[in-house]
Amino acid sequence: MIIDLGDIAREYGRQAVRAIAAAGGDQLLQQAEAKPETREALVAPVLDGLGAWELDPRSGPDALQSAAALCRSAGYWALPYPVAERLAGVVVVSDTAPEAPLAGLGTDWYAVTLDGGRSRVARLGAVGPAFSTALELTADDGTADVALGLVLPCWTLLGMLDRAIDVTVAHVSLRKQFGQTLASFQGVQFQLTDSEVERSGVDILAKYALWSLATSDSTTAINDALALRLAAIEAAEVVFRVCHQLHGAVGFCDETTLSWLSRYSQPLRRLPFGLSQTRDILTRRLGRRGLTGLFS
């Protein structure tokens, strides 16, 4: 079992980070929040330049890994566009209250429930927090890759965790208290270590879920995708809690990158279902069988 991303995918991810930074980086999200209807136009040039929509994650392991790397890079900058959902071709939604971060993007989208039922998005509701909106669905024929629709957004969330830790390390390395930097205090080092353990754990599990997508049957792949989602949400709670604590009150102000990352991670953490519901769904699906591989 080889779960590390290939050289091509890793390099593609690095180039994507640079390209998004050159296109405006954090400014893209701030401009999109002011005018949600412009967010597709804001990010289209950089994604087109990267050949993002030429990727078909279902065509083979190399394309799947490159798609995951792109999602991670998009998450690193909190790119104001649902890259993972478009690459997957679907947004995974709940049965009872379908919702997704598609505000301002038109209606040419498909939604899929966990049991594989697919629908066309007929209409979007009012713009909510972090571009979220209720969906009006129309039943449509066809099958959907539920596992892919669950896994790729987790890679976007992983990119956000990467950035949250990076900006927090930079913050505590600069700020001083009692004549020394915050980073020199043992308590701060312990907190950052806890965050990095959580983040690196999701990193490994995300790679394993990609491998499972490419090699396992659909039932196993969906179970592994749900397990990854559960781990990613749990890690996000730890990472953002620690990062906010170490930033202090300034971490909740729009002048800091962490504030934007934390706010726009919310749809990824609560849609199509949050921590408790994800755990409940996975428990009911597994019964007494348990998971295999790295998730066991």
For residue 86, the model assigns a pLDDT of 92
How does pLDDT run across 161-219, given as a tens digit for each residue?
999 999 999 988 877 777 788 777 878 889 999 999 999 999 999 999 999 988 888 88
What are 118's strand-pairing partners? 112
Q: State the burial class of residue 129 (Cβ atoms within 10 Å of its Cβ: 0-12, 13-18, 19+).
A: exposed
What are 92's strand-pairing partners? 112
State the average pLDDT over residues 240-247.
92
What are 123's strand-pairing partners? 136
How does pLDDT run across 109-168, given as a tens digit for each residue?
888 888 888 888 878 877 777 888 888 787 765 445 789 999 999 999 999 999 999 999
> CB of 72 within 8 A of CB of 158?
yes
Domain 146-291: assigned CATH number: 1.20.140.10
For residue 296, the model assigns a pLDDT of 56
> Which positions ≥6 away from 244 have C-beta within 8 Å?
251, 252, 258, 262
Q: State the burial class of residue 154 (Cβ atoms within 10 Å of its Cβ: 0-12, 13-18, 19+).
A: buried
Centroid of chain to Cα 51: 20
For residue 79, the model assigns a pLDDT of 94
What single-letter DSSP state applies at residue 143?
-
How does pLDDT run across 48-91, given as a tens digit for each residue?
999 999 999 998 899 999 999 999 999 999 999 999 999 998 89
For the whole model, what pTM was predicted?
0.90
**Residue position matching structure tokens 């065509």:** 59
For residue 219, the model assigns a pLDDT of 86
Q: What are phi and psi of 81, to 5 degrees?
A: -160, 140
Of the chain, the percentage scoring pLDDT greater than 70 comes to: 96
State the average pLDDT over residues 226-231.
95
Is 1's pLDDT higher than 80?
no
What are 99's strand-pairing partners? 134
CATH 1.20.140.10 location in the chain: 146-291
